[in-house]
């Protein structure tokens, strides 16, 4: 393998990992904000995600150039094509995260029962973060046989978020029937938590694509 080609592959991998980590960090900061009720941290979380689209475009163009110049085959081809799709997933996860922060930061000043929501909301958030971080770990692993283990871990977290979301949905609907005038706020909370559940879905997609990259087979859009 020519050195220039090797360098390009390394740099693409690292860039993808970087933007993915930015999404994970943003979510961690948001979670911290909710747990410590220090809502200034929401701004820090948003700042993590500035320029993410721009960087994602940069990565996509690098991938196009590498495909044109080096005509990769087999694993290299699968890896580059997965990364091309993964940047998409990361951008969507970033959009979901930003949406969550925007909506949730608005409702914290309302009269809703935050503690009841956080009872299941914080675990949901934690699962989503774990899902993303585990999926990102797959990018950096040395031994690709561990890919399947990590993949299963991500799927587990993702289904947890599904269950937790259903619980929250039930609870919020109950709370709405109790306080009909706060229904709009409660609906906003629900839709923001739905965004977190979507972040976990994106993590599962990413894990699927990395499974294709490392172990082969066909692409399954999760």
Partner 1 sequence: MNVKIKTTNLNLWYAQNHALHDINLGLYENKITALIGASGCGKSTFLRCLNRMNDLVSSAIIKGTVVIDDKNIYDKDIDVVTVRKRIGMVFQQPNPFPKSIYENVSYAPIKHGIVKKGKGCDELVEKSLIGAGIWEEVKDKLNAPGTSLSGGQQQRLCIARTIAVQPDVILMDEPTSALDPISTEKIEALMLELKKKYTIITVTHNMQQAARVADYTAFFHLGKLIEYDETETIFVNPKEKKTEDYITGRFG
10 binds partner 1 (CB under 8 A): no
Residues 6+ apart with CB under 8 A from 217: 211
125 binds partner 1 (CB under 8 A): no
Of 5, 17, 39, 187, the residue at the interface with partner 1 (CB under 8 A) is: 5
Span interacting with partner 1, options 3-11, 105-113, 159-167, 170-178, rule CB under 8 A: 3-11
**Nearest to partner 1 of 56, 127 (CB atom):** 56
Q: Which two three-digit tokens encode residue 168?
A: 């929250």
**Nearest to partner 1 of 50, 64 (CB atom):** 64
Q: To which residue do tokens 């979510």 refer? A: 27
**Nearest to partner 1 of 3, 217 (CB atom):** 3
- 54-57: long-range contacts, CB 8 A cutoff, minimum separation 24: 55/15, 55/18, 55/19, 56/19, 56/87, 56/88, 56/90, 56/91
Applying CB under 8 A, what is the total number of residues that bind partner 1? 10
Cα 148 from Cα 185, distance rounded (Å): 41
Q: Which two three-digit tokens encode residue 199?
A: 């972040």
CA nearest 189: which of 44, 34, 48, 38? 34
Cβ atoms of 101 and 46 within 8 Å: the answer is yes
**Nearest to partner 1 of 33, 84 (CB atom):** 84
Span interacting with partner 1, options 2-10, 27-35, 115-123, 197-205, rule CB under 8 A: 2-10
**Nearest to partner 1 of 58, 116 (CB atom):** 58
**Nearest to partner 1 of 73, 181 (CB atom):** 73
DSSP string across 3-71: HHHHHHHHHHHHHHHHHHHHHHHHHHHHHHHHHHT-TTHHHHHHHHTTTHHHHHHHHHHHHHHHHHHH-
Span interacting with partner 1, options 1-9, 48-56, 99-107, 119-127, rule CB under 8 A: 1-9
Residues 46-75 that bind partner 1 (CB under 8 A): 64-65, 68-71
4 binds partner 1 (CB under 8 A): yes
Residues that bind partner 1 (CB under 8 A): 2-5, 64-65, 68-71
């Amino acid at each position: 393998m020519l050195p220039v080609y090797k360098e390009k592959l390394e740099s693409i991998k690292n860039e993808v990992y970087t933007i993915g980590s930015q999404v994970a960090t943003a979510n961690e900061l948001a979670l911290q904000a909710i747990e410590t009720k220090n809502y200034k941290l929401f701004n820090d979380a948003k700042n993590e995600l500035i320029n993410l689209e721009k960087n994602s475009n940069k990565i996509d163009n690098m991938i196009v150039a590498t495909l044109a110049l080096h005509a990769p085959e087999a694993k290299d081809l699968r890896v580059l094509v997965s990364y091309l799709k993964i940047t998409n997933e990361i951008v969507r996860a970033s959009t979901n995260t930003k949406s969550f922060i925007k909506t949730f930061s608005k409702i914290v000043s309302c009269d809703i029962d935050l503690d009841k929501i956080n009872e299941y909301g914080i675990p949901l958030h934690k699962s989503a973060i774990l899902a993303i971080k585990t999926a990102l770990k797959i990018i950096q692993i040395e031994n690709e046989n561990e890919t399947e283990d990590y993949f299963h871990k991500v799927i587990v977290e993702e289904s947890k978020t599904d269950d937790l979301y259903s619980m929250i949905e039930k609870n919020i609907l109950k709370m709405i029937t109790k306080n009909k005038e706060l229904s709009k706020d409660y609906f906003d909370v629900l839709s923001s938590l739905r965004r977190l559940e979507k972040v976990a879905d994106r993590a599962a997609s990413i894990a699927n694509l990395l499974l294709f990259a490392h172990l082969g087979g066909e692409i399954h859009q999760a």
